[in-house]
Structures are given as structure tokens and as C-alpha cells.
Amino acid sequence: MKRLLKVICLVGVCGCLLYLTGCDPLEDERPVQAEGLHINEVYASGEDWIELYNDLETSKNIGGYFIYDKASSKYTIPAGTTIQAKGFLILVCNDLGVGLNTNFKLSSTGETVYLENSSGTLIDRVEFPELSGGQSYGRYPDGSASMAISGTPTRGTSNGGSLTPAILSATRQPIVPGLNESVTISCTLVSTQGLAAVKIYYRFNGGTYASAAMTLQGGFYKATLPAQATTGKVEYYLEAEGTNGLKSYEPATAPNKVLSYLLNTDPLPNLFINEFMAANTSCCPDNSSGTAAYDDWIEIYNAGAVAVNIGGMYVSDNKANPFKYKIPEGQPALTTIPPGGFLLIWADNEPEQGALHADFNLNAAGEDVGIYYIDGRTINEYTFGAQTPNVSWGRTTNGASTWKAFTTPTPGQSNN
């Protein structure tokens, strides 16, 4: 639809020049007629919000103004809403559509938000880029045309004259470290402008945090965490400090919630990816929502002699990311597989439907499927090719090394 409209746009009113500069009727390309009220900062991960800023010397009544990301569903700011001179107002973007809660959310992959006055005149527009958790996009200083990503959102207060360096998400090598193995942590920054230092803080088994400088090597800020000779948990987080003294963290919740890895030598349980379906249109419904939904599924088989609670373990559709979906802990009645038993996990990208609903689908064109221990070690994984709708792919007998197509699938039941 968008493409079609673009073509109409190309040959129609907009003409080639505007088309080349991004003419898209789904985006509002009217000139902004500024009146001193700005979209000053946006935040798109977790509880989304938009910060408005009144750059005037007088308070401003913005009742009846419109804020939106889609012109087809503009949200009307309630009557009587005012912003003080040089003041800020937060609109929470949570789909509620009441009071200062807008009828839309923001996309963390980036989009455009618009502000109109009560006459429908476009008075501001901000196109924001992809934002990582904990990052905002705003004007520096408040109300100016200079926009940047910051690692320190300032919800409802001044953005300040300079931004805090923002860390792009950290990576770890190896992703599943073992005993006596040093670990390299890397990150990049959104901008190195005004950067004073990048540091890593780390600790072992709940001790006190040590810190180390992260140094620029081949475009990445890197630090190496020392090898550990005993089992336990390594926790770490990163800090970027600006020359303005402001600091941002990865994860943004640090030091309360941090990144970590486990060094663990437990023997792995005897579990198999036993059968799965990557294209379900009529086979076997997931009734969790109250209506039949034909979702992808993964069957796990416990070939061991003892029950295994998979709470805290992971399933993934990507061998390179064993930590993709953590089976919730604390629900052993749901997540324990008896010896010789089976457990069905819906790969429906609907984790809100319960403990046994992973946050991914299986690709019918082929990909990986695996189950991983609490420390990320591989219990069992498999790479499959293109799948036929409503035909499952499973081990010829439970736990066997050979696979075949099942025209009569047995989700949660023996393949034999």
C-alpha cells in the first residue's frame, strides 16, 4: 500500500524532486510552522513517552492540540492542559488514549511523531532513529534544531546543553564462557563527542565491583575480564562518562540490574528437541487465548531417568544466541518434564500467554531450534530446512538421531 501511494505521489502532486527527498503521503511533509512549542525528547523502550517543551516566556494552553504518529488516528490533548513558560509536559505513549496517555505507542526501531495546534497547523515534527533500551532522542539545548541520541533521558526536565554519550548494546566473546577462560566485552558509542571515559565494572560471586578502562580497538571499546578458576556468577555493566560529568550505563538499569554469565559444571540434562512444526495452519491449535490459534510448536523429550525442570533454561531459533528465550522460573508444575516424558512449547511469539510460549516463531523456510542450559551451554540443537504446512518434523523414534516428516504429528506425545 505504501509503495503504491509512493508511485501515485511520484506522478502526482509531489513530483520527482520531492519524491527523491522522501515524499511519502503516509508521512506528513507539510512545512512546520513553529509557534514555540516543541517535541523536545522521545523515549521508545519500556514505558514510551514524548516530552513537550514550551520555549515561550508565557504559559501556553495546549488543550485541543494533536499529537500523533499516524494521521488517521490523531490524539487530542485534553482541554485545559497548559505548559508553563520554559516548562515541560510528558505525554505517556501507552495506547490508553485518555488524559495525558496517548492512543499510540512509539516504535523503538524509529518513526516520526507530529504535533499540530488546535487549528490543525503542523507546529513540530520529529523523526527519531532506532533507540536502544535506556536511550532517548532529543533537542540539545531544549527547543533547538540540534538533535541527538542520549544515554541519559531527562523525562520532564531540561535536556541540558550537552548530551551524555550513549552506549550501543554490549557484546561478549565467548557468549558462553567456561572456567579458566578470559572474556572480552565490546561496545560502540552513538557518538564520541564530549566523551571522557568508558569503563566496565565487574564482580565475581557478589563481591565488590572492580573497574577497568574500555579502550578503543578497531572501532570498538573493549575490555577483557579475567578468567575464573571456580564456578559462580560474573556480573558486569558498562559506563560512559561525558566531559560534562553525566554518565550513562549499559544496561540502563545498572547497577541495580546488570549483565551476567554463569560458570557452571553441572552435567547437562538428557533432553532432546524431539519434534516441531514451523508452519501450522490447521494441525493443532493453541487455545491459550480462548480461541484456536495455529501456532508453531516445539516438543521437548526427556530421555533421562529423572524429572527435569526446564525453568531458567533457554530455547532459541538461533544457535548464535542461546539466550533468546528464558523459560520462566517458579512454575515447576508447568515446566517440569517427567522421565520419559514430553513438553510442548509454543513458538508463537506470545510470551504473555504463559510460561510455555517462546518469544519467537519458527521460520518455515528453515532455521535453528535448540534448548540450552541455564548457563547457555547447548543441551540439544538442530538445524532444519524448508517445512511443509501441518507436517511436523521429528525424530523417527523419541531421541533417535534420524528425523522424518510426520503427516500425523504428535505434539506433546511419543513419536514412536
- For residue 112, the minimal CB distance to Ca ion (Å) is 19
| Residue 235 is a binding residue for Ca ion (CB under 5 A) | no
> Each residue of 206-224: b (16+ CB within 10 Å) or e?
eeeeeeeebeeeeebbbbe
Please give the Cα distance from 179 to 230 (Å, whole number).
7
Per-residue three-class SS string for 285-308 = CECCCCCCECCEEEEEEECCCCCE
Does 350 engage in binding with Ca ion (CB under 5 A)? yes
Cα–Cα distance for residue pair 238/250, rounded to 1 Å: 5
CB of 36 to Ca ion, least distance (A): 17
Q: Which stretch binds Ca ion (CB under 5 A): 68-76, 165-173, 288-296, 367-375?
A: 288-296
Distance CA 141, CA 248 (A): 18
Q: Which triple of cell numbers denotes residue 259?
A: 549483565
Least distance (Å) from Ca ion to the CB of residue 342?
6
Sketch the per residue contact string, 15 through 54, with Ca ion: x for CB under 5 A, - otherwise. --------------------------x---------x---
Q: Figure out which of the listed residues 154, 228, 316, 335 binds Ca ion, where binding follows CB under 5 A.
A: 154
Which residue from 116, 250, 296, 368 is in contact with Ca ion, where contact means CB under 5 A? 296
Backbone φ, ψ for residue 28 (5° rounding): -85, 110
Between 183 and 358, name the residue whose CB sits nearer to Ca ion.
358
335 touches Ca ion (CB under 5 A): no
Task: Give dist(CA 88, CA 59) in Å, integer.
Answer: 11
Cβ contact 375:383 at 8 Å? no
Q: Do 291 and 403 touch, CB atoms closer than 8 A?
A: no
| Cβ at position 202, least distance to Ca ion in Å | 31
Q: Does residue 387 interact with Ca ion by CB under 5 A?
A: no
Angstrom distance (rounded) from CA 352 to CA 265: 32
> Residue 63 CB, nearest distance to Ca ion (Å)?
22
Interface residue with Ca ion, options 37, 278, 298, 313 (CB under 5 A): 278
Residue 375's H or E segment, with its range, is none
Q: Taking contact as CB under 5 A, which single stretch among the options 171-179, 327-335, 357-365, 367-375 is the one that binds Ca ion? A: 357-365
Rule CB under 5 A: choose which of 286, 317, 367, 368 binds Ca ion.
286
88-93 and 101-102 beta bridge pairing: parallel
Pairing of strands 183-187, 171-173: antiparallel
Q: What is the nearest approach in angstroms of Ca ion to the Cβ of residue 313?
A: 20
User: What does the binding site for Ca ion look like in residue numbers (CB under 5 A)?
Assistant: 41, 51, 154, 159, 275, 278, 286, 293, 295-296, 299, 348, 350, 361-362, 364, 410, 415
